[in-house]
Homo-oligomer: A and B are copies of this chain.
Amino acid sequence: MPKKDQAKQLPDAALELIAHRFRALSEPVRLKLLSALMQGEKNVTQLVEATGTGQANVSKHLSVLKQAGMIATRRDGLATICAISDPAIFQLCEIMCAKLKAEHDERSKHLAGF
């Protein structure tokens, strides 16, 4: 008994989970955080410097990324060390950047190496 026309391939609950993941990647500051963490783990102060936004804001964005399972944190004395916990991030950003590169060739110089 084949499913009629493949309707409802994914239940709504799954779609919301997936959307939630993509949403975590939909903010420039969070992408900047991930970009900084791609060079290696960093504490919050370093990430505040890397992003140029306020500490409270960085803390909130980090919690979003953490809840989405994209980064992990550990305490080291006073510092909270952050690191990318899911290598799929790299693939996702590579695909997205490739798309932009193809469509905006004139801007692609800035995307080189990402």
Contact = CB atoms under 8 A, between A and B. Distances in A.
Interface of A: 5-7, 9-23, 25-28, 30-32, 35, 38-39, 50, 69, 86, 88, 91-93, 95-100, 103-104, 107, 110-111, 113-114
- Assembly stoichiometry (copies): 2
A110 B23 CA distance: 21
A107 B39 CA distance: 33
B28 A26 contact: no
Contacts of A14: 97, 100, 107, 110-111, 114
A32 B15 contact: yes
B31 A111 contact: no
Given A39-B6, A103-B69, A96 B11 contact: no
